Structure 1
């Protein structure tokens, strides 16, 4: 067992009575901080019923279970790291907790962004929306952007394809997030994320089927959600 897996297992085991705070994930409409800033994060409820077109029920059930694991480990790591800091500890074990927290927290948040924008009755892009005007101004057309975004999602590696907006300038860019927390453009806002870890598609598309999976996800993107993030 490697160090990352070991620490993840230890952190999961540290979870106490469970998740009891209101969900704080992005996209929860008008979400506000809880009265208790130290409350645990709660796994958000995503109901995909019998599956989505192109994504089977079993695949989605497994994926949602993995997401809940990220939530549990995030809560455990936050508690363990804060407890160590309150005791004045700063050694290698605490440093590794901090490194792991970036991985688990980002994994939790990216999955929420991903699942929230998937729908069997997805709305198509609105050509008059400022987001699509910005896409056309940046890439020349929606189709040109999608070709570049698809190429991002099918890069060799483990991670996420992401459409970002820089709030400071309004600039759009396609990005690749390695794992969950590496190569992140600091301060940029994620508008659309597509999970391209193997667990997101192998059950339905096989180890070499990532491109087909990305094509299937395209028709499931609810642009009402993505446009609201813009």
Structure 2
């Protein structure tokens, strides 16, 4: 469906841009975890391509796009090389990297939703695949790096919610036959802006109602 809205070359370059910024986040985490260059490359590839590969396997787009386009494979390696030689400089522009990462989130949640719908999934499951496309690589990155995925940590700024909103806008537009270049751009922009606002104001999802902290619970148990 996106192919009907954007030319193949534009869509391809948008994909590569999103892959590149996601790969940078993976390579930077590898540096912080003291991985070697091979570990950096693995984490960059997983972060950049994991979500899209999972989506393609679920919807039956075999082989996944990550294995049919050499550019998809080489782009994370280019990001790895950049971080390997210039990681102090890249760390210093982390805020700029976060902006591009937010843009990639918006692009991938929309692209994932439309591709899943094109392959016959219903609107709700297409939204789920849009979310998986946007955040799946980050979840795999954290698991491989032996960290609790940021997606499920309460002390992380909203990440999944902007993707869900972007995917939801696309699903509604498909339902009402209103998906155009303008509405697609609006969905991408909405997810992008929500993610930026979440980072700026540290918006977080609520935890369980009337939840007590572990420290409070431990102190209560020790009281005679």
TM-score computed with the length of structure 2 as normaliser: 0.29
Higher helix fraction: Structure 1 or Structure 2?
2
Higher strand fraction: Structure 1 or Structure 2?
1
TM-score computed with the length of structure 1 as normaliser: 0.29
